[in-house]
Structure 1
Amino acid sequence: MMTPEPLYRMMVIDSSEIIAPREDYQRELKSERVKRIVSNFDERIANEPKVSYRDGKYYVFDGQHTIDARKALNGGNDLPILCKVYMGMSEKEEALLFARQTGESARLTPGVRVRAEIFGEDGNAVVFLKANADLGIELDYDQERGHMRIGCIKTAMNAYRRLGEERYKEAMGIIVSAWGGEPDSFRRENIIGITRFVDRYHDSYIPQRLITRLSNVDPLTIPREGRAVGVDLAGYKKYLYQVWKIYNGSGKKYSLPKKF
């Protein structure tokens, strides 16, 4: 019986040989985090960076901040570092492993995680990306805000998973049609309230009525008034309530009953 190939090998590699592929899927190096690691560094509990050996080069996919902290503790000079070295992985496999890292690593933002999953061609992330692209919406991985860009990626992805592609695109299309891709229109409160409304009233609401009525209010209305709601409504309901109020208005002809 053959012994299975180990998942990784412990190897000492000079830091000058280790490459961080940040331009593809990793987050930017944060000097503040490096400083925090340096100030609390304890060799007895330090984690070994995870490195992929590919095409004759070493690529770190977990531990880039630790590597820079070790160099800082060495006067800014390169030095030998004990690493977990994974063999035979593709760049896409590295990205997926990076996206799923846990433990002592710095918590990934939803944007960084989804970007890595898309680079690694994770099926769920790719179809989510395409659903938004079909509407002309970009995923704002770095929270820079801008026209037709979603920064609250976790909120949007949760809505996509809950509603399914068709209904998600219907709800997000309403946001685009109502406010034309204005940055504030993609706030998490608007996405929560409108996707919940579309899901709850899918068979009874008139999409064009909702678009028209939303377009007549500032996109900050739902977040602002939702936060002001008392304890009678909690969680998503306070934002769903705002959308319901906007849709109904003062008339009765097309009013919808309160179903939450």
Structure 2
Amino acid sequence: MNDYDAFVPNVHFEQIPIKNLVSNQEYQRNLSIAHVQRTVDNFDLYQINPVKVSRRNGINYVFNGQHTIEIIAIVSGSRETPVWCMIYDDLEYIQEADIFANQLKYVKPLLPYEIFMANVEAGNDDQLIIKSLVESYGLHISSSKVPGGICAVSCLEYIYQKYGFHVLDRTLRLCIGTWEGDNNSLSANMLKGIAHLIYAFGNTLKDDGFKERVGKYSAREIGRTAKERKAGSFGYAEAMLSAYNKKMKTGLHWNKLYATKSTAPDDDFYTEYEENDFDTKEETESDDI
């Protein structure tokens, strides 16, 4: 008969009141009050994992789960509340520290796409609404960059949660209407950049004008100009706003793009810059690789 003891941890489970657990070891990280409060505000009993405990000299030392016990103590209103503990009776202090240091070393984190699709399977409203909206434009949620697929799922969730359904809907409509589903136009920075413009300018940003003026430039050209301006999605927003305002007597006001930020660039900077953004000689396709 096979002996599997070498592959099964020598542990047992007990319910232990929080007041009888200790987590003041030197190797422990500082307690994150912000993390605790955020989890308390979104408490879900089914997300609670057993606390890992090393029982040494009759004392229950927590080496994985110090945030868990604080969250449960706050939610329940008492440190008398018991929690399920996985107890090791044969660990030394240095073993605890080593386990703590390396507990996530070989853990594969979930990818945004995997989390999104699991939420879809769970029937969670946000992800179902986003998926349905994307599919209404003839696209689909994908795990990688493929024709007709959007893999920037975290970006879609960000826009939906920060700006709402209608901004996400208009973002997709403008993006697809301008570049006809070109894969380069469906990046996170491009989608967020469009959402920034929609949120900042509302109906003063005209859809037809956007498609006509910004659509003169390929998604790759927008991306190149964005990188010269500023890192991230606001660089894309600036590049598209520059294209939108080009040769207009009264364009959209630049500072409004940064109305929610503490500082905005000076208008003089843009007066000179926007006239030259797309006047440079077009780069060859090989430059985009």
TM-score band by shorter chain is 0.5 to 0.7
> In 2, Cα distance between the equivalents of 1:214 and 1:138?
24
Match of 2:138 in 1: 136
1:121 equivalent among 110, 120, 123: 123
Match of 1:157 in 2: 157
Ranges in structure 1 where 5+ consecutive residues have no aligned partner: 1-13, 15-41, 46-102
Q: Between Structure 1 and Structure 2, how many residues are aligned?
A: 158
SS at structure 1 position matched to 2:204: coil
> 2:240 is aligned with what amino acid?
V
* TM-fit CA distance, 1:113: 1.0
SS at structure 2 position matched to 1:121: coil
> In 1, Cα distance between the equivalents of 2:145 and 2:245?
34
Higher relative contact order (CA 8 A, sep 6+): 1
> In 2, Cα distance between the equivalents of 1:131 and 1:167?
12
Over the matched positions of the two proteins, sequence identity in percent amounts to: 15
* Aligned ranges 1:73-92 → 2 under 5 Å: none
1:184-221 alpha-carbon deviations (Å, 9 max, x no partner): 11012211111110111113111110011222101012
1:136-177 alpha-carbon deviations (Å, 9 max, x no partner): 22111x20421x311111112111211211121011100011
Tell me the C-alpha RMSD between the 2 structures. Answer: 2.5
SS at structure 2 position matched to 1:201: helix
1:247 equivalent among 235, 244, 248: 244
> In 2, Cα distance between the equivalents of 1:144 and 1:207?
26
CA contact (8 A) 1:144 1:151 kept: yes
Match of 1:178 in 2: 178
Calculate the TM-score normalised by the size of structure 1: 0.55
1:107 equivalent among 100, 109, 127: 109
Match of 1:199 in 2: 199
Match of 1:97 in 2: none
Structure 1 stretches of 4+ with a deviation exceeding 3 A read 42-45, 233-236
Match of 1:86 in 2: none
1:256 equivalent among 233, 243, 252: 252
> In 2, Cα distance between the equivalents of 1:257 and 1:223?
22
Match of 2:285 in 1: none
Structure label with greater radius of gyration: 2
Change (3 A) 1:234 1:174: same
Structure richer in helix, relative to its length = 2
> In 1, Cα distance between the equivalents of 2:138 and 2:161?
19
> In 2, Cα distance between the equivalents of 1:203 and 1:176?
18
